[in-house]
Structure formats: C-alpha cells, structure tokens
Amino acid sequence: MSALTIKKYVAECIGTFVLVLLGCGTAMLVGCDAVNGGGYILTALAFGLVIVGMAYCIGNISGCHINPAVSLGVLISGGMSAADFVGYVISQCIGAFAGAGVLKLIFDLGNIEDKTGGLGSNGLAGVNGSAGAGLLVEILLTCIFVMTILGVTSKKAKHGSFGGLIIGLTLTLVHIFGIGLTGTSVNPARSIGPAILAGGSAVSDLWVFIVGPFIGAAIAAFVYKWMESSIEAEKPVVAKAPAVSKPAAKQNKPKKK
C-alpha cells in the first residue's frame, strides 16, 4: 500500500469523523422533532456546511467522499478501484465510530441532554415505523445526492471551484426534506457509528439506512452513466502561439563599379 493511498484513507476517516461530530452533534443539541423547525434548518446546515468545508480541505487528497454510498457511485462510474472502495468504506466507518464516541463522551461528561435520544441516529418514527416508506425515502434522497455529485465532478463538464459548495447545498436540501421522515441518512457510515453506540431501536432499524443509500447510489450511478454516455468531454482550449514574423530578406545592393 502506497503512502498516498494511506493518506487518502486517513483523509476519509477524518472527514467522516467531522461529519458525525458536527452534524449529529448539532442534531443532539437542537433537536429535530417536527415542532422545532429551527432545529431542522440548523441540523441540515450543519451537515451541508461540513461537506463544503471538507470538500476544500481533503477533497484534493481523497475526493472527500466521506460516505460509502458516494464511494459506491464513484466505483460503478469507474472512478476508483474495488480495493480502494473497500479501503474507503472501512476508513469512513472508523471515522463515524470515532465521531459518535467523542459525542457520547462530551455529552456524558458534561451531563448534557441529547435531544435526539440516540446520538443523532436515524429512525423510522417520522414514517410511523414503516420500513418500506423509510427505505423509499433513503433511496430517493441518496439517488438525488449522488447524481448531483457525479454531475458536478464529471470530467466531461467543468464546474470550476464551486463543486464543493454545490454538493454541500444539495446535502442541506435533502436533509431539510428528510429529517422529519427518517432523520436523513443518505450515508451508511454516518448511520452505523451513532446507531451501534446508541443501541436499542436504532440498531434494529439500521439495515434501512445501509440498504437504502446503497441502492440509491447504484441507481444514480447507472442512470447518470447512461445519460452522460453520449456527451463528449470538453476539450481544453489551447492558445495558439503568436506567429513569428520572418525578417525581411536583405536586398542585394548594386556593386560599385
């Protein structure tokens, strides 16, 4: 394993740690029930802003997936190897466990009320316990999110330096819709870490937040790959070198007689 590969895995671990720490941590502090609309917005912004920050921090090292579903989409699209996919997912899960562990430590030491009751873990209360409804929500939201990422990062279209901002705003958007339904996962690692440490019903419903995002990501990758197949990559514009003027031919002076 090369040093660069190790650095990519470390970057993914750090990024997912920050996502869980700040995203789930915000949810734990402000609460995300239907009564607290402000809590919705703050939590959605927390998750979205983490992506913006990390995109410009570790994006140039690992691509800033910090989400196994995103990594699956990139794998299907041909953007990474199967070995790297496994390494990324393991690193992301480690980061998620670390983030949830630090949150638990902070809230226990400070005797702080966790307003989510489960370290910001996802659940099916918003869909009245329906696994089918929860699965559908996660599939659709992940599909939208991953398709946006694939479009923004496509080598066939240049979106400049705004990619991280666009992706972060999209994650904010899907959270605004999904928080009241499933808590919005769209990220198996983000769900696994808090759920395992919280225990209880969070673990029994966890499969929805693993299966749903992976299915959504796969659909997004196949659909986007098909749609993009007929688009030619933009060719870089090469500036032509200025024409070099040739020196005027010397006129032969008449010889003096």
**Over the stretch 9-59, which tens digit does the pLDDT of each residue have?**
999 999 999 999 999 999 999 987 656 567 889 999 999 999 999 999 999
Give me the number of domains the chain comprises: 1
Whether 236 is in a domain gets the answer: no
Whether 232 is in a domain gets the answer: no
Token pair listed for 176: 């605004």
Separation of alpha carbons 186 and 211, rounded Å: 10
* CATH number, domain containing residue 19: 1.20.1080.10
Whether 252 is in a domain gets the answer: no
**Over the stretch 72-109, which tens digit does the pLDDT of each residue have?**
999 999 999 999 999 999 999 999 999 999 999 999 99
Residue 123's identity, in one-letter code, is G
Separation of alpha carbons 7 and 25, rounded Å: 26
Looking at per-residue pLDDT, the higher value among 174 and 242 belongs to 174
**Over the stretch 99-112, which tens digit does the pLDDT of each residue have?**
999 999 999 999 99
Which of 56, 29, 53, 55 lies closest to 43 in space, CA to CA? 29
Q: What pLDDT was estimated at residue 86?
A: 97
Indicate whether 255 pLDDT > 60: no
Whether 129 is in a domain gets the answer: yes
Residue 147's identity, in one-letter code, is M
Whether 42 is in a domain gets the answer: yes
**Over the stretch 136-155, which tens digit does the pLDDT of each residue have?**
999 999 999 999 999 998 88
Whether 253 is in a domain gets the answer: no
Whether 181 is in a domain gets the answer: yes
- pLDDT, averaged across the chain: 90
CB 63 within 8 A of CB 159: no
Whether 150 is in a domain gets the answer: yes
pLDDT confidence of 157, banded at 50, 70, 90? confident
Could you tell me the residue range of the domain that residue 184 belongs to? 3-227
CB 44 within 8 A of CB 124: no
Ranges of H-type helices in the chain: 3-19, 25-30, 37-55, 59-62, 68-76, 82-109, 131-152, 163-178, 188-198, 201-204, 208-228
CB 90 within 8 A of CB 36: no
